[in-house]
A and B are shown apart, each in its own frame.
Chain A
Amino acid sequence: MNNLSSMEVSEKKIRDINQYKFLVFYVGGVQYGAPLLTVREVLEYQQPKPMPNMVNYFVGVINVRGAIVGVVDLRSKFGCQEKFDKKTAMLLCDTDKGAIAAIVDYVDSVVHLKQEDVDHHPPVQSKIGHEYLLGVAKNKDSLITIVDLFKSLCDEKLKIA
């Protein structure tokens, strides 16, 4: 341990602390979670500008401080009802292919879970594809479905043409 510089130690600390922190949000009335560091920021909902020749859950592009960012409506992607109200929010994620935003019903909270509460290979049936699941976590008396936002947002071809 003596070999590690103080900076490396603190970096490792931050990683360890954040590994079991999750952002909890709702999609179609169902509670989901995503590893906190996969979400760069939470944005207020803004009307996306439609883009031609894209799949229906890709709803358009928005202006995030001068950058043009694509938007996926997670509700229609996960096959849920889309409703818009004051709480509707966007999660901005930095994927390998650049930034992309996801529309969710609303963002609930950030929870800090214990390692033993997270099951990475749950034998569960879910409404959403298995490939988007990272696991299921126990939070007090409810269960949170942990999703891989990167995969959910850009694993498929978004373009029709």
Chain B
Amino acid sequence: MGEFEDEMRVIFCDEATDLLLRWESVALELSKKVKIELLQEIFRIAHNLKGGSRAIGLVEFGNFVHKVEDGITLLRDEKVPTSIKCISLLLKAQKILMEWITATKEGTEYTDDTSAFLAEYQSAMKTENEDKQPELVLDSDMSAPPSQDLFSETPESTESSKVVEIKKISEPPISSDIVATSVKTDEPVKLKNTKTANQESIRVPANKLDELAACIGELSIHQSIMWHLNSDLKIKNKIFLNSLQVGQKLTKELYDRALGLRMQPIQSLFQRLERNILDLSQNLNKTVKVILEGSDVELDKTVLDKMVDPLTHIVRNAIDHGIEKNEERLQKGKDANGTIKISAKQDTSGVVITVSDDGKGLNRSKIISKAVEKKLISHANNMSDEQVLKLILLPGFSTADKITDVSGRGVGMDVVSKAIEELRGKIHIESVENSGSNFNISLPTSVSIIDGLIVKLTDQLYVVPVDSIEEVINLADCEFDNNKSMIYLRDQVIPIQKLASILKHSSESNHPKNNEKNNESGIFLIAKRQQGKVAFLVDAVLGQQQIVVRPLNQNISGLVGIMGGTILGNGEPGLIIDMHTILKNYVAKFEDKELSA
């Protein structure tokens, strides 16, 4: 009995979360343009929430929603004009409900007092009722035929014009279809939402998808084992070869589709950011316009989840430090409203997310003096602009003169670089003083498939992710210094590191000869880091192929320099080398020793 109730509760909470996210997106939509069908949708959402919560015995929750719903009814029936204040109250209600649901899901009682909010809400919904008399406007518009022009001619932002607009849409019932189509044409985001609503969907736990992907991954490994075997055995049977080929093709397609199941449009992330910007800019009394582009670009769910915090930090920083106060902006001859543009686009290697603002930009000399003060660098001679800007990503760096609760504790931007590094993405910062800054983040679409170089090292095969390597050079083509500890490459001096001396095998310590041999042949993998390039010596590079990354279990994970494993084409396990941690943990240590010596 109890189990059944628990299950019902979880189902309700999942559904409620979806509904509340929709609530948020509709409310955000409303804040741009008030439309009657948006209000109707919020009303429907509230109604569903109320019904669902009462069904599982959440009476308090239901009562709260009921009171909010009363207000929405007034807005919908135009007894009260939908002002910016009302919308922000609707968003506030959504936040309370979200917290309530989270508490319920965890099995705890929601105890926060909602009466203060309700009082504010109810008074907001009442006073304005007396101020205006919407009935008059409604009557005057009754006869006007609905058309698309009605939408375009309404200017934004002023309250009264919004009221007018509502009346225009609230036409006799026959018009509802036409209104819907006109919405579709002028708003692509809305179109997408209506589309997904019509599609039937099934809720599936994420781990089931992972299992499916892992299973198909295994299948594709065996497929490639068969392929290798076939070339060894030289089977000539045509039917066999055909079916092998078709099988391989199908497996690949199956695999792509299974991975596609984990892909989600970036829209949900954008919605959260937009909400954040709205809340924060109101707190700071700045007016900020948000432009979102490419919200239908898809990313792996893991990547999406991990990007929430870093992007929130960037956006908050942009509002707090980047965008100036309205008066200051006017003085500088800019539009009083700041603009933040967040865009996502697909590119050959993955997805690029760009956050740009038109604020005051990052101040080079301020960054340098702060970095010197915090002992992050000793001087900034010869540092390029890009290098200077990247200093803000270091832990413990904060240029805010005052600590605010918005940003400025010096944690934050290093969270950004850490999260992006974890996802093997890259961040690129540009900034022009007084015209704004630009954060460019490129991410891989999926974390489970990478392009890898198959590398031979002390008779073992390893995988090195292609994106961590700048270039590959044959040892024979290199110019050395006298000690053979550096190479010269296009006027650059690059120190050499033997990868074999970092990734040591216990059996080899008995045979030190192994490390000494092969000084005449080999391949250098050039990797780049902030302080310059490093050339890693490996025995040979055998090829490049797509690698399915498999996590290592706890018994063998956590090794410095190894980020995961994979099954190679011949069925043997292979280890994937993590160049970032090797550069950080080993190369840095070696250099410290050299300096102190």
Contacts and interface: CB of A to CB of B under 8 A. Distances in A.
Contact of B214 (A66, A99, A159): A66
A73 B582 CA distance: 28
Interface string A135-161: 000000000000000000110001111
B506 A56 contact: yes
Contact of A100 (B214, B502, B555, B561): B555
Contacts of B146: none
Interface stretch (B92-100, B264-272, B566-574): B566-574
Given A61-B575, A63-B572, A65-B218, A52 B555 contact: no
B553 interface: yes
B476 interface: no
A70 B556 contact: yes
A160 B573 CA distance: 21
A3 to B, nearest CB: 16
Interface in B33-71: none
A97 B554 contact: yes
Nearest to B218: A66
Nearest to A49: B573
B559 interface: yes
Nearest to A50: B505
In this complex, the member of B214, B221, B560, B565 whose beta carbon has the largest number of chain A beta carbons within 10 angstroms is: B565
Nearest to A98: B553
Contacts of B556: 51, 61, 68, 70, 100, 158
A92 interface: no
Nearest to A68: B565
Given A49-B460, A53-B503, A56-B507, A66 B555 contact: no
A53 B559 contact: yes
In this complex, the member of B217, B562, B573 whose beta carbon has the largest number of chain A beta carbons within 10 angstroms is: B573
B507 A159 contact: no
A5 to B, nearest CB: 15
A154 B555 contact: yes
B504 interface: yes
B559 A161 contact: yes
Contact of A49 (B504, B507, B553, B574): B574
B151 to A, nearest CB: 55
B567 A68 contact: yes
Given A63-B571, A66-B214, A50 B554 contact: no
Contacts of B372: none
Nearest to A159: B559
B573 A98 contact: no
A51 B575 contact: yes
B396 interface: no
24 contacts: A49-B573, A51-B559, A52-B502, A52-B561, A53-B504, A53-B559, A53-B561, A54-B506, A56-B507, A61-B556, A62-B573, A63-B572, A65-B218, A66-B567, A67-B550, A68-B552, A68-B553, A68-B556, A68-B567, A69-B553, A70-B552, A99-B555, A100-B556, A159-B558
Interface of A: 49-56, 58, 61-63, 65-70, 95-100, 153-154, 158-161
